[in-house]
A and B are shown apart, each in its own frame.
Chain A
Amino acid sequence: MLKHHTFKISGIFLGIIIVVLLMWSSVVLGLTKVSTQDVINSLFSFDGSNQHIIIQDTRIPRALIAAAAGASLAIAGAVMQGLTHNPLASPSIFGINAGASFFVVLGVTFFGVTSLEGFTWLAFTGAAIAAIIVYVLGSMGRDGLTPIKITLAGAAMAALFSSLTQGMLTLNERSLDQVLFWLAGSIQGRDLDLLIGLLPYLLVGWLLSLLIGKHMNVLAMGEDVAKGLGQRTILIKIFGALIVVLLAGGTVAIAGPIGFIGIVIPHVARWFVGIDYRWVIPYSGLLGAMLLLMADIGARYVIAPQEAPVGVVTALIGVPFFIYIARRGIHE
C-alpha cells in the first residue's frame, strides 16, 4: 500500500502516463497494421487513405471511449461501494446497467429511437429508475439500509431488467441484430460524436466524484456518526446517486452494459491507497481506464480475426476476482 502522500501523488501521474500509453497501443494494435508514423500522418496530413480512415474513424474514437467508459464505470462502482457499505456494490450487480439497457432497448424496439440524445436520456432515466428502486427496496424496514438487503434488491432488479430486455428482443427480431452486440458491451464501431455528446455529463460526474471523497469518508463511519458531525447525509447520498446515474447511464449509452469493472477496480484501488475515498476515487478512474483499454485490445485477439465484445473480456477477468472478494468476505 502507498502510505506517503508523495507516493500517492506520483501514482496518479504514473497512472496518467500508463493510460496515455495504453491509448496509444489501442490506436496502433489490431488487425490492420498501423505504425506510429501513420498515426502522426493521419492527424497532421490526412490523405483519405484506408489506413488513415481506420485510424481516425475507428481506432482513435475507440481508445478515447474505452478510457472514458472504463474510468466512469470504476468511479461509479467506488461511489456505490462507499455509500452502501457494501463490497459487492457496482453498476452491474445492482441492476443500474441493466435498467439503463432496458430503457434503451425499449426505446429502440417500440419507439424507434435512433438519435444519440434519445439513447443518452433513455440510459439516464433507466439508470435513475433502477437506482431508486434498488435503494428503496434495500432500505425498507426499521433497520434501514443493510448490505444484504440492498444486494438482494440489486440482484433481483438486474435479473428483472435483463429478462424484460431479452423478452422484448424475442418479440421483435428485427431489432435483435442492431442491439445484440451493443448489449454484450462493446466499444467497437462507436462514433466519436457519441462520446463528445456525452462528455459534458461525464465531466460533471467525474468532477463531483473528486469533490465527494472527503464526505464519503465521514459517511463511511455510519449514518449517526456522520449526522452527529454535522453532515447532511441525504445531500451526500443524492450527489452520490447523481454521480452513479451520470457515469453508469452515460457509459451504457456509449458502450452497452459492460460488467465487472465497477466491482473489481475499486478493490484494486483500495489495495494501492487504502480506504480514503479522496484517493480511492481518482485511482479507480485511472485503473478503470487501464482495464477497459487492455480488455478492448485483448478483445481484438481472443477470437481473431473476429472481435469479441469487450464485455465478455471484462467478465473473463472479473469473475475470478468476484469469487475472490466473495470468499474473502465470508472468511472475515
Chain B
Amino acid sequence: MDAITTNTLTLGYGDEDIIKDLDLHIPKGEITVFIGSNGCGKSTLLKSLARLLKPKEGSIVLNGHDIAHTSTKKIAKDLAILPQSPVAPEGLTVLQLVKQGRYPYQNWFKQWTEEDEEAVNYAIRVTGTEDLVDRKVDSLSGGQRQRAWIAMTLAQDTDTILLDEPTTYLDMTHQIEILDLLHDLNEQENRTIIMVLHDLNLACRYADHIVAIHDKKVFQQGDPDTIITPQLIHSVFGLQCQVTCDPICGSPLCIPYSKGRHMKGVNNDETTVNKQPIK
C-alpha cells in the first residue's frame, strides 16, 4: 500500500527542470528519507508532494486521490509538512503556535472544540513541550524550537508527515532527540514519515526506505541495507567512501575518504583518489 505515488512528475522553476518524469511510490506506515547532493531537487520534490509547488507535468496521488483535485483543506487533514527552518512571528508563544495546527479543522461555524483541545494537548505531551507552552518561540533553543514546530504539525492530526531537514542547525544530541521522536511516532502510531536528511548515516539508521535522487531522477530506492553501497555514494554524491556496519545499530555506515590527520598504520590505499593536487 502506498501513501503517496507520483506519475511522470516533472518539477521546476521557469524553464529549468529540477525533477523529470518521476514515478515514485512511497510506502504507507514507514519512514522514507530522501537523500542527494545539494540542489538535486529533494526539497523541491518534498514541497511538491505537499502541494506547496505546482507540478509542471504529471500528478501526485495521496491515499488514492489526485491532490490537484482535492481541496487543500482536506489534504491538510491527511498530510502535514514542516518546511525547513520555519520562522514564527516575533512574540508568538509555543501554545499559540501549536494551536495553529488545528486551522484546517476550523471554519466560520465550528470554532474551538473539545477535539481541538485534545489534539493540542496530545501534541504537546508527545513532544515533551509541556514546560515550554508559555515561552516565546523566538526565545527557545534550536532543539526546543524544532520540537514546538513538530508539535504544531502533530496537532494537525495527519497520517502522513513530511519534514524538510528537521535536524538542520541542531547539535548531535538534539538531532537524535528529534529523530527518536519521529521514530516513535512511526513505530507506535504507524504514521508515515517522509523527510529530507543530510546526514547519510542517520538516514540509514532511521529510514525503512531510502530514495536517492540524482540528475533529475531517482537514482535508486529501497531498503538502506541493500542500496547503500560505495558505488551509489560515488554516483550520487561524487564521493569515495567505504561502507561498513554501524557498530550500534547494524545499519550501513559510510566513511568517506578525505584529507586530514592520518594515523600511522591505518590502511588507506584508496585515499590517492582524493589526494590529487587541486587544480
Contacts and interface: CB of A to CB of B under 8 A. Distances in A.
A12 to B, nearest CB: 19
B81 A224 contact: yes
B100 A229 contact: yes
Contacts of A142: 13
Given A221-B100, A224-B47, A230 B86 contact: no
A225 B82 CA distance: 7
Given A227-B52, A228-B52, A230-B77, 4 more contacts: A221-B87, A221-B97, A229-B103, A229-B156
B92 interface: yes
A139 interface: no
A274 B134 CA distance: 14
B89 interface: yes
A284 B88 CA distance: 22
Contacts of A274: 91
Determine which residue in A222, A225, A232 has the highest number of CB atoms from chain B within 10 A of its CB, and name it. Answer: A225
Interface string B67-107: 00001111111001111001111111000110011011000
A275 B91 contact: yes
Nearest to A226: B103
A5 to B, nearest CB: 12
Nearest to A85: B89
A125 interface: no
A229 B86 contact: no
Contact of B72 (A217, A225, A232): A232
Contacts of B89: 220-221, 275
B13 A228 contact: no
A224 B103 contact: no
B154 interface: no
Interface of B: 13, 47, 50-52, 71-77, 80-83, 86-92, 96-97, 100-101, 103-104, 156
B72 A227 contact: yes
A230 B73 contact: yes
A231 interface: yes
A312 interface: no
Interface in A102-150: 142
A222 B100 contact: no
A210 interface: no
A198 interface: no
Nearest to B47: A224
Given A227-B72, A228-B52, A229-B76, A222 B91 contact: no
Contacts of B100: 217-218, 221, 229
Contacts of B75: 230
27 contacts: A142-B13, A218-B103, A221-B87, A221-B89, A221-B92, A221-B97, A221-B100, A222-B86, A222-B87, A224-B86, A227-B52, A227-B72, A228-B50, A228-B52, A228-B82, A228-B83, A229-B101, A229-B104, A229-B156, A230-B72, A230-B73, A230-B76, A230-B103, A231-B72, A274-B91, A275-B89, A275-B90
